[in-house]
Chain A
Amino acid sequence: MLSIFQRMGRAVLDALRGMGRMGTFFATSLYWTVKPPLKFGRVLRQISFIGSKSIPLIVLTGGFTGMILGLQVYYTLRKFGAEAYLGPAVALSLIRELGPVLSALMITGRAGSAIAAEIGIMRISEQVDALESMSLSPFRYLMTPNLIASLFSFPLLGAIFNVVGIYGGYIVGVRLLGLSSGTYFSGIQDFVEMGDVTDSLIKSACFGIIVFLVCCYQGYYTRHGAEGVSRATTTAVVMASTLILVWDYFLNSVMI
């Protein structure tokens, strides 16, 4: 009986310790982000890796998401004789919800996993210790560039996803199903407000922080060789994806 309580207690303590360690990790990353000098070269390299190199994936997924959305929403609206609202329905679904969430999930799969693996390999091959041994902070060289790059890239990629998605919906609604182009775009102009766009960007930035935090943290605390790197990468992707959806709900509760 005692051992059950001991196990429960140990699990709770481990969870608390993990949360504390993650909080400290994030605070340390922020400290090194505001402490000059900033490593601009590394920041640009990470923006290129997380941002620029994700554009083809974002365009592809954004385009098809918009097309699927156009098809499904058109089918539903037609039942109510409200096909004219296809434009705003597609745009609002993308801007308020699907754009930030799906783009964040895509970037997590492409860049988040790679970041966790890269830092994990640097950890097990003592490259992180080598930085420390030279009195150079791994946070300045590895974490800060990823944090800044995520904060820039996620909102921009989310915006690209939205725009491409809206044109995907346009191709299906206007080109294939015969809705007028003016109806599609004027509806978007009438119903999409600046607040929707701002909320979308804020959401994307929050997801960027989540992906940075989880992936860099998992990589930084990798242990036990190749198997440890594999475990850290898997955990990073699963945990970041789950947290994106959980955090999305809380953000929606506040924003709506």
Chain B
Amino acid sequence: MIDVVGLHKSFNGQEVLKGVGFRVEKGEVFTVIGGSGQGKSVLLKHLLGLIKPDKGHVYVDGTDIAAVTGEELYKARDRFGYLFQGGALFDSMTIFDNVAFPLQEKTKMKAAEIKDRAEAELAKVGLSGMGHKFPAEVSGGMKKRAAFARVLVMNPEIVLFDEPTTGLDPVLVDSVHRLIVWGRENYGYTAVVVSHEIPEIFDISDRVGMLDGGVMLQVGTPGEIKGSDNPRVRRFVRGESEGAAQF
């Protein structure tokens, strides 16, 4: 479904991605793990065309997201939903308006239908009766769930999760992971998740890829990654540092 081929990207002369390549199959939960500053979020933004690569391709069912622009790019993005690290809710709108916004702007639904639909999505993520609040008035976990409702309301084929559990307590981390799986089962999307939550993330992933040093070091099932022979993968999964010099 998604084919990433030889992706290169530099910022101010610093090469972040050095030929990243992997494939995501339809309907699977593919998780990208890796240390801080390894370019995981940058990689995710390439999948949606929010960042253009210096070299390489991102094929989504044959369409090269990296090569298309304008209306063609917008059409390709219609298949995606993106859950941003901080939720990226519009802070001048209420939670309800945030969820209703894509429906108002991208569909011809009537106001009453939009209201029903947005409220139903909020209920599914456990935010019934919270629609009148502004993003600044709710907790981090609620923001994530509201942002998830905004993603789900358009019923996307592919959902990209950018560190969806950052800053949440262990109980909320578990609830977000359950939401990802629940969404996959009920909406049938393909998920690409960028996460630091090890080992919890292995429980919900079909396959995992480790990004390190600008390349995809290893891709495999959670079991293969946990039992990896690669010392860098093994150290990362076990949470072992390479000594004070590395810190």
Which positions in A face B, CB cutoff 8 Å?
Answer: 121-122, 125-127, 129-130, 132-137
With both chains docked as a complex, state the minimum distance between the C-beta of B72 and any C-beta of chain A, in angstroms.
11
Find out whether the CB atom of B88 lies under 8 angstroms from the CB atom of A125. Answer: yes
Chain B 79-97, CB within 8 Å of chain A: the 1/0 string?
Answer: 0111011101111000000
With both chains docked as a complex, state the minimum distance between the C-beta of A209 and any C-beta of chain B, in angstroms.
25
Known contacts A133-B48, A134-B106, A135-B106; is-contact A126 B78 (Cβ 8 Å): no
With both chains docked as a complex, state the minimum distance between the C-beta of B202 and any C-beta of chain A, in angstroms.
27
Interchain Cβ contacts within 8 Å, total number: 48
Cβ contact of B88, chosen from A130, A135, A137, cutoff 8 A? A130
The CA-CA distance from A126 to B84 in the complex, in Å, is 7
With both chains docked as a complex, state the minimum distance between the C-beta of B15 and any C-beta of chain A, in angstroms.
19
- Answer whether residue B140 sits at the interface, using C-beta atoms and an 8 A cutoff: no
The CA-CA distance from A130 to B160 in the complex, in Å, is 12
For residue B142, which residues in chain A have a CB less than 8 angstroms away from its CB? none
With both chains docked as a complex, state the minimum distance between the C-beta of B50 and any C-beta of chain A, in angstroms.
6
Cβ contact of B50, chosen from A121, A122, A129, A137, cutoff 8 A? A129
The CA-CA distance from A72 to B100 in the complex, in Å, is 58
For residue B88, which residues in chain A have a CB less than 8 angstroms away from its CB? 125-127, 129-130
Cβ contact of A135, chosen from B75, B84, B90, B91, cutoff 8 A? B75
Find out whether the CB atom of A135 lies under 8 angstroms from the CB atom of B74. Answer: yes
Cβ contact of A136, chosen from B45, B91, B106, cutoff 8 A? B106
The CA-CA distance from A88 to B22 in the complex, in Å, is 75
Cβ contact of A132, chosen from B50, B75, B89, B91, cutoff 8 A? B50
Cβ contact of A130, chosen from B84, B105, B154, cutoff 8 A? B84
7 residue pairs A–B, Cβ–Cβ below 8 Å: A127-B91, A129-B84, A130-B89, A133-B80, A133-B82, A134-B106, A137-B74
Besides A129-B45, A130-B88, A135-B75, 5 more A-B contacts (Cβ < 8 Å) are A132-B50, A133-B50, A134-B101, A134-B102, A135-B74
For residue B106, which residues in chain A have a CB less than 8 angstroms away from its CB? 134-136
With both chains docked as a complex, state the minimum distance between the C-beta of A229 and any C-beta of chain B, in angstroms.
13
Look across to chain B and name the residue whose beta carbon is closest to the beta carbon of A133. Answer: B82
The CA-CA distance from A126 to B91 in the complex, in Å, is 11
Which positions in B face A, CB cutoff 8 Å?
Answer: 45, 48, 50, 74-75, 77-78, 80-82, 84-86, 88-91, 101-102, 105-106, 154
With both chains docked as a complex, state the minimum distance between the C-beta of A125 and any C-beta of chain B, in angstroms.
6
For residue A126, which residues in chain B have a CB less than 8 angstroms away from its CB? 84-86, 88
Look across to chain B and name the residue whose beta carbon is closest to the beta carbon of A135. Answer: B74
For residue B101, which residues in chain A have a CB less than 8 angstroms away from its CB? 134
The CA-CA distance from A127 to B82 in the complex, in Å, is 12
The CA-CA distance from A122 to B91 in the complex, in Å, is 9
Find out whether the CB atom of B82 lies under 8 angstroms from the CB atom of A125. Answer: no
With both chains docked as a complex, state the minimum distance between the C-beta of B229 and any C-beta of chain A, in angstroms.
38
The CA-CA distance from A133 to B156 in the complex, in Å, is 11
For residue A125, which residues in chain B have a CB less than 8 angstroms away from its CB? 86, 88, 91
For A121, A129, A133, A137, which residue has the most chain B Cβ atoms within 10 angstroms? A133
The CA-CA distance from A137 to B69 in the complex, in Å, is 12
The CA-CA distance from A125 to B91 in the complex, in Å, is 10
For residue A135, which residues in chain B have a CB less than 8 angstroms away from its CB? 74-75, 77-78, 106
For residue B90, which residues in chain A have a CB less than 8 angstroms away from its CB? 122, 127, 130
Look across to chain B and name the residue whose beta carbon is closest to the beta carbon of A118. Answer: B92
For residue A133, which residues in chain B have a CB less than 8 angstroms away from its CB? 48, 50, 77, 80-82, 84
For residue B81, which residues in chain A have a CB less than 8 angstroms away from its CB? 133
The CA-CA distance from A125 to B90 in the complex, in Å, is 9
For residue B102, which residues in chain A have a CB less than 8 angstroms away from its CB? 134, 136
For residue A122, which residues in chain B have a CB less than 8 angstroms away from its CB? 90
With both chains docked as a complex, state the minimum distance between the C-beta of A234 and any C-beta of chain B, in angstroms.
22
With both chains docked as a complex, state the minimum distance between the C-beta of A197 and any C-beta of chain B, in angstroms.
37
With both chains docked as a complex, state the minimum distance between the C-beta of B83 and any C-beta of chain A, in angstroms.
9
For residue B84, which residues in chain A have a CB less than 8 angstroms away from its CB? 126, 129-130, 133
Look across to chain A and name the residue whose beta carbon is closest to the beta carbon of B147. Answer: A130
Look across to chain A and name the residue whose beta carbon is closest to the beta carbon of B75. Answer: A135
The CA-CA distance from A133 to B48 in the complex, in Å, is 7
With both chains docked as a complex, state the minimum distance between the C-beta of B11 and any C-beta of chain A, in angstroms.
11
For residue B75, which residues in chain A have a CB less than 8 angstroms away from its CB? 135
With both chains docked as a complex, state the minimum distance between the C-beta of A39 and any C-beta of chain B, in angstroms.
9
With both chains docked as a complex, state the minimum distance between the C-beta of A178 and any C-beta of chain B, in angstroms.
53
The CA-CA distance from A144 to B67 in the complex, in Å, is 27
Look across to chain B and name the residue whose beta carbon is closest to the beta carbon of A39. Answer: B105
For residue A127, which residues in chain B have a CB less than 8 angstroms away from its CB? 88-91
For residue B78, which residues in chain A have a CB less than 8 angstroms away from its CB? 135
Sort A-B residue pairs by CB-CB distance and give the 5 closest, nearest first: A135-B74, A130-B88, A133-B82, A126-B88, A135-B77
